[in-house]
Structure 1
């Protein structure tokens, strides 16, 4: 099961980074290149414990749907979203937040299992793990850009 681990340092308050990470609207902005849109469940604002969102996006020239649910939540330090339905066999995305001297350390642990057995494992090795890591890095860059500027006010006020 592939495991992607990313740490991002953000010069912004912990609570702001936590909330931007839960923002459906910011997620849409960070995935514009896939035409991602929230089509069911929480479709704007902040997602909370027990809530779900269904996304429709284009990846690898195919329009796909993915439903995730917030299954664990401890504001403003931790939350988990897990796939309920989608192209993966499973995935779990753990988000950790801690702060020191005004700098927030945001850590992602993304664990997933591809479908199709050995073919899925081969896809992971050839391109899928790198693709998923780049999606997460891009998302984190957008979170950082919004959190460190006044743009966060567009989404959280």
Structure 2
């Protein structure tokens, strides 16, 4: 079973505190997720991120395919980073690290996701055609939406890379 990695970096012209306030509130995830994903929080989003928090969602990764996704917030360093890990859901492994770094123009947000797909060789085959493209679309939407909400930083290139690491 292959291990994949997604890296997304985005520059925002806001303070680290503003970025943290937005990102550490689980209810804001819906605002930066494409509507066609059918993303709805079922439980666990009544407080800002804390270690041990369990959040349950429904999501439609593909048309007419709905699934329940349960994540646990496993690590939080206030204002710096948090980690969510899938407990139940569409992936064989989902480990998502969210970092914030203060930079001269504002803040750099970094998402680093390590993930594995279920279904062995079938999952590996589906990755470039379905999963990789879907993740690219989701993170491109997220980049556009965050730029709408907070603005863009001129002259700074955002980054989105997906690769196989094992």
Does the Cα contact within 8 Å between 1:68 and 1:81 map onto a contact in 2? yes
Q: State the 1:45 CA deviation.
A: 5.2
Q: Which residue of 2 aligns with 1:74?
A: 77
RMSD, aligned α-carbons: 1.8
- How far apart in 1 are the matches of 2:28 and 2:145? 8
- How far apart in 1 are the matches of 2:69 and 2:109? 24
* Structure 2: gaps spanning 5 or more residues: 153-166
Higher RCO structure (Cα 8 Å, ≥6 apart): 2
What TM-score comes out, normalization by structure 2 length?
0.81
Does the Cα contact within 8 Å between 2:44 and 2:56 map onto a contact in 1? yes
Q: Which residue of 2 aligns with 1:155?
A: none
Quick one: which of 25, 36, 51 aligns to 2:53? 51
Q: Which residue of 2 aligns with 1:16?
A: 18
Q: Which residue of 1 aligns with 2:36?
A: 33
What TM-score comes out, normalization by structure 1 length?
0.85
Where do 1:84-103 residues align within 5 Å? 84-103=87-106
User: For residues 1-33 of structure 1, what are the alpha-carbon distances to aligned partners after superposition, in whole Å with 9 as ceiling and x for unaligned?
Assistant: 110111100000011112212222221122223
* Structure 1: gaps spanning 5 or more residues: 150-157
Q: Which deviates more from structure 2 when the two are superposed, residues 29-38 or residues 109-118?
A: 29-38
User: For residues 96-117 of structure 1, what are the alpha-carbon distances to aligned partners after superposition, in whole Å with 9 as ceiling and x for unaligned?
Assistant: 1111224101111111100000
Structure in which a larger fraction of residues adopt helix:
1
Provide the aligned length of Structure 1 versus Structure 2. Answer: 148
- Shift in alpha-carbon separation, 1:86–1:108, aligned structure 2, 3 A: same
Instruction: List structure 1 runs of 4+ shifted beyond 3 angstroms.
Output: none
Does the Cα contact within 8 Å between 2:37 and 2:62 map onto a contact in 1? no
The SS at the match of 1:87 is: coil
Quick one: which of 123, 128, 131 aligns to 1:128? 131
Q: State the 1:76 CA deviation.
A: 0.8
Q: State the 1:136 CA deviation.
A: 2.4
